[in-house]
A and B are shown apart, each in its own frame.
Chain A
Amino acid sequence: MTVGIVLVSHSMAVARATAELAHALAGPDVAVIAAGGTDDGRMGTSIDVVSQAVSEADGGSGVVVLMDMGSSVLTAKTLLAEFDDDDAAPVVRLADAPFVEGAVAAAVLASTGADLDAVVDSAEQGRAMRKL
């Protein structure tokens, strides 16, 4: 099973469209799950939405989470702290990466069957990748 990817954005539309883009470039076999907006459909983030997305993305090889900014990062960090206290929780890593570029890079590498560390590295390399 490939590494799963969760995309946390304040906007459900941004999370979904980024997942769609990642799937278009990485193929349909990688689990890229959008976790955008609050649990009642507003702009913002929800730990319950993110937690559910992580469960959905987890195929046993771990999950990398990418966040846009602000409360997305704080919510993901809070969830990770809760998982630390729970032995049955999935293995989750947060990627310090640009949202769209990181999601695509992570999805493409995950599609090759790479492990969690490699997928996180791939996403984080997006920070240094120049465009011009």
Chain B
Amino acid sequence: MILDTATAVAWIRRAYELVRADEARLTRLDTAIGDGDHGANLTRGLAAAEIALDEKQPDSAGQALITAGRSLISKTGGASGPLYGNGFRQAGKELREEGDVAAVADALEAMLRGIEELGGALHGDKTMVDALAPAVAAFQTSASATLDLHAAGQAAVAAAEAGLAATVPMQARKGRASYLGERSIGHEDPGAASTVLILRALAEVTAP
């Protein structure tokens, strides 16, 4: 199994489906500590990404992710747009034509770096990084051990879910939730929740 153009496009489409299906939950999480627009924003951004992929017909997996990233940056409207958008663009630049499990591990690492550099969030700040960073590490470990894209994707999802759960007792240090101080404790971070969905989409479309 490799991440080729069709699989990369399928990843974005599946991410759109999963986020749209969970839009209400993401919005509920974001209403608790954020400005309540994460579900709607990310759904809009991924919808725009799907349209752009239809129009552009990318000829490589990297180009597909870069195209999706550009749409997320343009059309999302909230902080998740530039963050995920930049992440997908960095992943696309790293991946280029297509990639095996090792190349996808590098692409996910580039995604994480892009998000960290733009947003400046550290581990424990109660952001998407708290789901993505352990997920990328788990993907890399599984990639080396199994050489299997789907297995590595599943390992990443499990680690992201654990990372999401770990955001509950954290006090937010980024974004609107940080203004709440200690009151941000006790809730899942919506960005970490959407990261789980995006990684689940990858695991699903790489199933044999």
Contacts and interface: CB of A to CB of B under 8 A. Distances in A.
Given A44-B37, A44-B41, A74 B79 contact: yes
A60 interface: no
B74 interface: yes
B81 interface: yes
Nearest to A48: B74
B79 A38 contact: no
Contacts of A81: 86
Interface string B67-100: 0000001111111011101100000000000000
Contact of A71 (B75, B79, B86): B79
Contacts of B37: 43-44
Interface size class of A (residues with CB under 8 A): 10 to 19
A38 B74 CA distance: 9
Given A75-B82, A78-B118, A70 B74 contact: no
Decide if the interface of chain B is mainly helix, strand, loop or mixed: helix
B176 interface: yes
B86 A78 contact: yes
Contact of B77 (A42, A77, A78): A42
B176 A70 contact: yes
Nearest to B80: A71
Contact of B119 (A44, A47, A74): A74
A43 B79 CA distance: 12
Interface string A47-84: 11000000000000000000000110011011001000
B83 A44 contact: no
A45 interface: yes
B175 interface: yes
A46 B118 contact: no
8 contacts: A43-B37, A44-B37, A44-B77, A46-B77, A47-B73, A70-B79, A71-B82, A78-B86
Interface of A: 38-39, 42-48, 70-71, 74-75, 77-78, 81
Q: Which 9 A-B pairs have the closest CB atoms?
A: A44-B77, A74-B82, A71-B79, A38-B77, A78-B82, A70-B79, A71-B78, A74-B79, A75-B82
Given A44-B76, A48-B74, A74-B118, 15 more contacts: A39-B74, A42-B77, A44-B78, A45-B77, A47-B73, A47-B74, A47-B82, A70-B78, A71-B78, A74-B83, A75-B73, A75-B82, A78-B73, A78-B85, A78-B118
